[in-house]
Amino acid sequence: MSIAVTFLVNGECHTVAVEPFDTLVDVLRDKVRLTGTKKGCGVGDCGACTVLLDGKPVNSCLVLALDAADASITTIEGIAKDGELSAVQKAFISEGGTQCGYCTPGMILSATALLERKPDPTSDEIKDALAGNLCRCTGYSGIMRSVSRCSNYQSDGTCAKPSHPLPKRDKSESDYRPSSGECGSVGVSIPRVDAGDKVTGRAIYTNDIALPNTVYGKILGSPIAHGYVKKVDTSKAEALPGVLAVLTGKDVPDTMYGVSPARYDEYVLARDKVRHVGDEVAAVVAVDERTAEAALELIDVEYEELPAVLDPYEAASEGAPLLHERYKRNINTHVDQSFGDVEAGFAESYLIREETFTGNHIYQSPLEPHATIATWEHDGTLVLYTSTQVPHYVQYMMAHVLHIPLGKIRVIRPTVGGGFGGKAETTPLDLCAAIFSKKLGRPVKMVYSREEMFHHGRGRHKQHMKFKIGVDREGVIQSFASEIYLDGGAYSSFGVATAYYAGSVLPTLYRFPNYAYDGYRMMTNKPAAGAMRGHGVPQPRFAFECLLTMVADDLGIDPIEIRRRNAMTPNTMTVNEMDVGSCEFLRTLEAVNEKVDWNEKYGKLEKGKGIGIGCGGFVSGAGYCIYRGQVQLSHEKGREPFQKKSTFPHANAIVKISEDGMAAVLMIGAAEIGQGSDTVLTQMCAESLGIPSSRMRIRSEDSDISPLDLGAYSSRVTLMAGHAVSRAGVAIVEKLLPYAALLLDCDPGIIEAHNGRMFVRGDESRCVAWEEVARKYFNDNGPLVGTGAYKPPDGLGGDHKGSSVGTSPAYSFGSAVCEVSVDLETGKVAIDKFTDFHDCGTPINPMAVHGQVEGAVVMGASETILEDVQFDDKGRILNPNLHGYLMMTIKDAPEIFSGLVDSYEPRGPFGAKEIGEGSTLPVLGAVAHAIANATGVWIKDLPITPEKILRALQEKRDSPETTLADAKA
Amino acid sequence: MYMPSVEFHQATTLPEAFDLLQACGPSTRVLAGGTDLLVDLKAKRVTTDHVISITRVGELKGIALDNGSLRIGALTTITQLDESPLLEGGFDPIRDAARLMAVRQIRNVATIGGNLASAVPCADLPPILIAMNARVHIASRDGEREVPIKEFLLDVRKTALDRHDILSAITVPQPPPQFGAAYERFGLREGNAIAVAAVAAGIRLATDGTLETATIVLSAVSPIPKIALQASSIVQGQHPSDDLFARAGEAARGEADPISDIRGSASFRRDLVAVLVQRALKKAVERAGGDVL
């Protein structure tokens, strides 16, 4: 029974019909239509739905709308006054306080409430005020800078002159290099191009879109980990008023899909078997989401339960339950690689050490849940709005499953609230929504709940690693052998690539003369593991970094010194045939060494304090496309054999100049998911056009507008899409040169375009306005359009099986030092300080680079000490929520210094390489080493929890050796 | 995650609330701040046909000092508790616990009454309130009765409230001279953490510096906060010292009755109890003006 209620929102009265059980967030979003208030978890764990009630921040998902009826409500849309942003909003723009933007409205409201209460807060007060707002992108550093900047806050939302000096970012040598004028601003920390929308609540995410006549779908997940689906009775659900249609396995195409073409093994909905708790069995569409949710409970499914296998070693054992007939002994992928002569290397070694390490189940947990809206146009075009990192692969996979040509699918990627690899695949939401929408002839929206996100999975593979290293007397690596069991979950997902990545990127950081890798990706009855930031590499990198430090300790060599002795050098072909070009790894080592005063601290700290080193690096874009051969024409096309060259460009751009020459519109399909690609691509394109970046607009969200780009994965966008946009810019300039030459009366070959002007090289006084030349071009020829494309170099990689994985035009490098305090009585770790120096080539936007590093530090530290998806013995997730799955809050995050070393990558645009994924890699090892340094015990299985530390300390105390040593002392 | 379709009622006075309780069935739930109940309803951990919101019942609001003892209305939010000047001084330990709870968005809405009536084992306020000898006031049609808080909490999610009752207030007696209390807890992260183990201690020093009385309350390591009788008696009559507190901690380790769950094993929780008991006692003695040897 709905009641008409008047709400006072941002000073305006809104009278809407409310159900007594409606929570405030739903009324604000769906009825008042203010969508700046975000839904992240629904149960008060994330803070994305924070609004102010009478000036106090509350989670609007935990407030009944009726209880808010007599309060004054402030949402993010009410913070700017008459179009003038508040001081907090401005600071979030200028200080890098926003990335994906999904937490930003809540953050800004919490910060504003704090500043209203305490105009000059201490940093502890800021942290306390923001502890209820989770952020997965920024590492909270930019947010701390933003709020700290607003000291002396006034009630009108402005700041008086700061009463104390603003916190300044400690800049490294190559930061904020002076740009040549304002021009395209390559190398300059310009604010994100989307920041203004993100701080005001104007950024539109998929779930914020309300197409007329939309209906809502939900998917039923399996309650058991393994079993046959015997019978699905949907009659009761269909009878529920408001339910429009129900789908089961028999209603969906008999086409399997997935990521790696050789291992398509998923159906849209289970046809015969379920293989993990949450495996999709049936779907419902109804007039609203609530009804659809209720209908799921009315579907009766009869299962014949099978024994489940949850451990990769058990999965491989004789007689273990088999998940898929096609994967014998549950081996999904076996990697068997050997380079050089590993046994001879060990034979020549002075010291050999073998250790076993275990990783953890990490889930990306982007703040924005996956969401999709599908709608079909009358000409048979499918329009899909989806929260994805890979619009093209979604388009490709929809074409494959739905049996329609790629060209009949238009994918729109609205603002995406973070991905980290968790949105790098086509989801059952995309497919079910499209199928429902076709059936009903109206738009269908489907959104995962936080719990469903965990059950859908695709997080980091938990890896079980047996490593063996052989070194000479000086610590120089002679041989390295690894055996890794990857816990793959129930489907392939990215797993084939993951299994190869787990081995192939290790030799790009240190020189391995001999190297063997034996990898097994195993099927288990858990949600499929997929690709997560650092794809396959972070856990082996953690293990290797720990092992290298152990060896250094054994030999009495400083852990930084042993890294120097083994460090990768520029222009090296690795033992596994990865082609390393620019490499300033040594410089990053020297830089952290100096910055933290390593020699003054290492081995000299008081009990409970620790310092540790970790290093890492990653590919700047995968050398090959996920699918082989040419771009997909339709579903009928067969698989093509692997060729050692790119058969089509991986990144493509179009630039169109407005008819008056005053604006340039950049069209590229590269997916902005919060990492900042729209901004750096704008900068690079403007630079090559020779105009200020403020004249650019970027359209990256619509496949009808922008040409193909493979998307945001493998840290590929800066390098690959960067080339495409730069080339498109150059193409425009080339078209303009003859016209400029006419206007300037000179040879076209001596004209330069820069900062909105075209002039004679060496004599800038002989110039003409850029727009004037562009106008002339249009008047004579019509549209001024330039295109650019990028193909990775041909021939990357060796000839061995799996040689394509890990290939890249360029590699990044980084070194990090972590400083911790450990409470030796409880095992609790506080990560105090983190210092990172990176070789990301020449940075396009240093603030964006630091933002990636800061975010990676906190994500990496969080997964090292806190995060783990836990399962019971029936394969049920014990913590599919953000109060059980613990991610660092602002109170847990360390103080971070991010620095860059001078570097130039000849294969990158403007000398640039990647930063997004590589920045994760040094973190885990550095944290683990710092803890070992503080406690005297190595914890070799992640996460390094207080309980594990305490147990290890007790074991050490109780061991006979210690007792003997104590007796001697 | 949506709320189920329950019948929703709003009471504006206590008598109205009693009438509604009478009229609705036994599964009826009372809604105060809602930060527990709405989550439970959305997650379908709680099913009910009727929810009665008491957020507008004025009689349940406000904090007052009465002859030195503190009366806290059940609808007092955790933030109000934290910010009330009436808590300054002797009632500081309650404020400590309030500040450790959840996050500001929750503290702005969650109430002291809800924190008690939910009776979840890891709640932050009950242990310190027990250590400070608080009493719970229960209103019903028949008037108000009061029980010591340790008799109020019966089991996990079970209290002395009967279906016609409303928790109306909590009173905390004025701490006697040379009294000190402290709350120490362990959470896995710094922000928005749930107690894995917690200990509250309330002690009174005799004029000779020995511990005249001591109440050590263990929390999150038993279904309801548990008074560690052995540990308490070990310290009673003794001069405070690290060694003494270590022995008390060891005794409390045995008295705890923890479970193993995703946050930690039972044995880890016992280890934590041993440490937290020492820390809480030490802080309580310091607050009472005593010295720890």
Residues A13-24, mean pLDDT to the nearest whole number: 95
Query: SS3 of B20, please?
Result: helix
pLDDT in tens, A606-631: 999 999 999 999 999 999 998 876 66
Q: Does the pLDDT at position A710 exceed 80?
A: yes
> Are A64 and B53 a contacting pair at CB < 8 A?
yes
Residues A678-689, mean pLDDT to the nearest whole number: 97
> Are B104 and A129 a contacting pair at CB < 8 A?
yes
Interface of A with B in 55-114 (CB under 8 A): 56-59, 61-64, 66-67, 110
Report the alpha-carbon angle B13-B19-B24, nearest 5.
Answer: 125
Q: How many CA atoms does the CB half-sphere of B145 hold within 13 Å?
A: 11
Q: Does the pLDDT at position A160 exceed 80?
A: no
From the list B31, B108, B188, which residue is nearest A866 (CB)? Answer: B188
What is the reported pTM?
0.96
Question: How far is it, in rounded angstroms, from Cα A40 to Cα A366?
Answer: 9
Amino acid in position B137? H
Interface of A with B in 286-305 (CB under 8 A): 289-290, 293
pLDDT in tens, A100-109: 999 999 999 9
pLDDT in tens, A724-774: 999 999 999 999 999 999 999 999 999 999 999 999 999 999 999 999 999
Residue A638's pLDDT is what? 63
Question: How far is it, in rounded angstroms, from Cα A755 to Cα A186?
Answer: 12
The torsion angles phi and psi of A128, rounded to 5 degrees, stand at -65, -40
For chain B, which ranges sit under pLDDT 70?
none
The torsion angles phi and psi of A734, rounded to 5 degrees, stand at -60, -35
Minimal Cα–Cα distance from B93 to chain A, Å?
18
Question: How far is it, in rounded angstroms, from Cα A630 to Cα A411?
Answer: 20
Q: Does the pLDDT at position A184 exceed 90?
A: no
The torsion angles phi and psi of A437, rounded to 5 degrees, stand at -65, -40
> Which band of pLDDT confidence, cut at 50, 70 and 90, is reported for residue A963?
low
> Are B39 and A23 a contacting pair at CB < 8 A?
no
Question: How far is it, in rounded angstroms, from Cα A852 to Cα A504?
Answer: 24
Question: How far is it, in rounded angstroms, from Cα A848 to Cα A497?
Answer: 28
Residue A969's pLDDT is what? 43
Query: SS3 of A735, please?
Result: helix
Overall size of chain A counted in residues: 969
> Which band of pLDDT confidence, cut at 50, 70 and 90, is reported for residue A1?
confident
> Are B191 and A891 a contacting pair at CB < 8 A?
yes
Q: Does domain B7-53 have CATH number 3.30.43.10?
A: yes
The two beta strands, A50-53 and A3-9, are unpaired
- Contact present, A50 and A109 (Cβ < 8 Å): yes
Cis peptide before B26 (omega within 30 of 0): no
Which residues partner with A374 through β-bridges? A384, A444
> DSSP per residue over B187-239, as a string?
ESSSSSPPEEEEEEEEEEE-TTSSEEEEEEEEESSSSS-EE-HHHHHHHTTSP
What's the DSSP call for residue A271?
S
Q: Measuring CA to CA, which residue among A510, A515, A514, A513 is closest to residue A586?
A: A510
Q: Tokens 């001697």 label which residue?
A: A968
Which residues partner with B199 through β-bridges? B184, B218
Burial A236-253 (b: 16+ CB within 10 A, else e): ebeebebbbbbbbbebbe
Q: Is B186 on the interface with A (CB under 8 A)?
A: yes
Q: Does the pLDDT at position A178 exceed 50?
A: no
Alpha helices in A121-160 (DSSP H): 123-130, 141-149
Q: Measuring CA to CA, which residue among A489, A302, A458, A521 is closest to residue A875?
A: A489
What's the DSSP call for residue A85?
P
Q: Is B34 on the interface with A (CB under 8 A)?
A: yes
From the list A20, A26, A56, which residue is nearest B108 (CB)? Answer: A56
Residue of B nearest to A126 (CA): B104
Q: Please state which of the ranges A183-197, A357-371, A698-712, B218-232 shows the lowest mean pLDDT.
A: A183-197
Please give the share of chain A, as a percent, with pLDDT higher than 90. Answer: 92
> Which band of pLDDT confidence, cut at 50, 70 and 90, is reported for residue A964?
low
- CB contacts, 8 Å: A19 with chain B: 5
Sheet containing A829-839: give its strands across.
Answer: A609-616, A813-822, A829-839, A895-900
Question: How far is it, in rounded angstroms, from Cα A172 to Cα A903?
Answer: 13
Question: How far is it, in rounded angstroms, from Cα A6 to Cα A23?
Answer: 15
* R_g of chain A computed on alpha carbons: 28
Residues A144-158, mean pLDDT to the nearest whole number: 89
Which token pair is A702?
């619509």
Residue A172's pLDDT is what? 42
Residue A170's pLDDT is what? 44
> DSSP per residue over A741-808, as a string?
HHHHTS-GGGEEEETTEEEETTEEEEEEEHHHHHHHHHHHHS-EEEEEEE-PPTT-S-SSTTTTTT--
Question: How far is it, in rounded angstroms, from Cα A751 to Cα A174?
Answer: 30
pLDDT in tens, A909-936: 999 999 999 999 999 999 999 999 999 9
From the list B7, B106, B262, which residue is nearest A44 (CB)? Answer: B106
Instruction: Please state at what angle helix A946-958 crosses helix A921-935, rounded to 10 degrees.
Output: 40
pLDDT in tens, A631-681: 655 454 566 667 777 789 999 999 999 999 999 999 999 999 999 999 999
> Are A129 and B105 a contacting pair at CB < 8 A?
no
- CB contacts, 8 Å: A888 with chain B: 189
Q: Is A801 on the interface with B (CB under 8 A)?
A: no
Question: A732: Cβ–Cβ under 8 A, 6 or more apart, which residues?
Answer: A655, A657, A664, A689, A784, A785, A786
The two beta strands, A763-769 and A572-573, are unpaired
Residue of A nearest to B261 (CA): A878
- Contact present, A691 and A733 (Cβ < 8 Å): no
The two beta strands, B195-205 and B143-148, are unpaired
- CB contacts, 8 Å: B8 with chain A: 20-21, 64, 66
Q: Measuring CA to CA, which residue among A535, A537, A530, A526 is closest to residue A330?
A: A526
Q: Measuring CA to CA, which residue among A72, A93, A79 is closest to residue A24?
A: A72
Which token pair is A876?
């049920």
Residue A968's pLDDT is what? 47
Task: Give the count of beta carbons closer than 10 Å to the beta carbon of residue A438.
Answer: 16
The residue among B57, B104, B111, B196 with the most chain A CBs within 10 A of its CB, best to mutate, is B104
Residue A169's pLDDT is what? 46
Residue A157's pLDDT is what? 83
Which residues partner with A466 through β-bridges? A356, A483
Residue A640's pLDDT is what? 66
Q: Is A678 on the interface with B (CB under 8 A)?
A: no
- Contact present, A540 and A506 (Cβ < 8 Å): yes
Q: Measuring CA to CA, which residue among A524, A533, A450 is closest to residue A492?
A: A524
Minimal Cα–Cα distance from A46 to chain B, Å?
10
Question: How far is it, in rounded angstroms, from Cα A812 to Cα A448?
Answer: 34
What's the DSSP call for residue A82?
T
pLDDT in tens, A270-307: 999 999 999 999 999 999 999 999 999 999 999 999 99
Question: How far is it, in rounded angstroms, from Cα A103 to Cα A825?
Answer: 35
Question: How far is it, in rounded angstroms, from Cα A967 to Cα A960?
Answer: 10
From the list A132, A450, A947, which residue is nearest B103 (CB)? Answer: A132
Q: Measuring CA to CA, which residue among A548, A553, A359 is closest to residue A468?
A: A548
Question: How far is it, in rounded angstroms, from Cα A839 to Cα A584?
Answer: 6
- CB contacts, 8 Å: B188 with chain A: 866, 886, 945-946
Q: Does the pLDDT at position A153 exceed 50?
A: yes
Question: How far is it, in rounded angstroms, from Cα A465 to Cα A468?
Answer: 10
What's the DSSP call for residue A167?
P
CATH number of B179-287: 3.30.390.50
> DSSP per residue over A436-471, as a string?
HHHHHTS-EEEE--HHHHHHH---BPEEEEEEEEEE
Residue contacts between A and B (CB atoms, under 8 Å): 132
Amino acid in position A262? A
Q: Is A637 on the interface with B (CB under 8 A)?
A: no
pLDDT in tens, A535-565: 999 999 999 999 999 999 999 999 999 999 9
> Are B192 and A20 a contacting pair at CB < 8 A?
no
Q: Is B8 on the interface with A (CB under 8 A)?
A: yes
Which token pair is B261?
């769950």
Where do the domains of chain B lie?
Answer: 7-53, 63-172, 179-287
CATH number of B63-172: 3.30.465.10
CA distances from A900 to A179, A597, A627, A677 (A): 17, 17, 35, 19
- Contact present, A582 and A810 (Cβ < 8 Å): yes
